[in-house]
């Protein structure tokens, strides 16, 4: 199965309230964030999430992966889970995505632990992250 970690971010969508000149003089009062758009590499979402949708996504992705973008061209989907981004192209469910991410993390932690033990670092010196 293809699930890869990737870079990505949500960038604010800003609108000017009032005139352009007022916004230049006092941006804190005249430029407001109305939503967020996901970006990764050359890709970005067509639309954007309003503030309520964005805050819900941030909350929900802490317990279950959330789709943040889908490509109709090649079937790729980008997921957000615990503040990190992943993509896949096999139509995984949120639960399958979570299982693969957690298994990958467990294996990586185990790999680091074994390597440190091989270096002669004692068990009590290894930080458990």
Residue 107 in any domain: the answer is no
Q: Is residue 82 part of a domain?
A: yes
What residues contact residue 44 under an 8 Å CB cut-off, 6+ apart?
37, 38, 69
Are 44 and 20 in contact by the 8 Å Cβ rule? The answer is: no
**Domain count within the chain:** 1
State how far the alpha carbon of 15 is from the alpha carbons of 38, 45, 56, in Å: 17, 18, 21
- Residue 120 included in any domain: no
Q: Is 40 within the bounds of a domain?
A: yes
Q: Is residue 59 part of a domain?
A: yes
Q: pLDDT digits over 74-87, tens only?
A: 889 999 999 999 99
Q: What is the mean pLDDT of residues 104-117?
A: 88
* Contacts for 57 with CB less than 8 Å, ≥ 6 apart: 49, 66, 68, 80
Structural domain of 48: 3-90
Put simply, whether the predicted model's pTM sits higher than 0.75 gets the answer yes
């Amino acid at each position: 199965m293809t699930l890869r970690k990737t870079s990505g971010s949500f960038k604010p969508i800003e609108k000017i309230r009032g005139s352009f000149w007022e916004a230049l003089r006092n941006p804190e009062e005249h430029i407001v964030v109305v939503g967020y758009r996901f970006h990764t590499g050359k890709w970005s979402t067509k639309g954007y999430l309003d503030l309520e949708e964005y805050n819900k996504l941030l909350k929900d992705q802490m317990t279950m992966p959330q789709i943040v973008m889908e490509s109709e061209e090649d079937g790729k989907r980008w997921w957000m889970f615990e503040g990190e981004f992943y993509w896949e192209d096999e139509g995984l469910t949120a639960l399958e995505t979570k299982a693969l991410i957690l298994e990958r993390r467990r294996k990586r932690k185990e790999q680091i632990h074994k390597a440190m033990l091989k270096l002669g670092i004692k068990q009590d010196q290894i930080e458990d992250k």
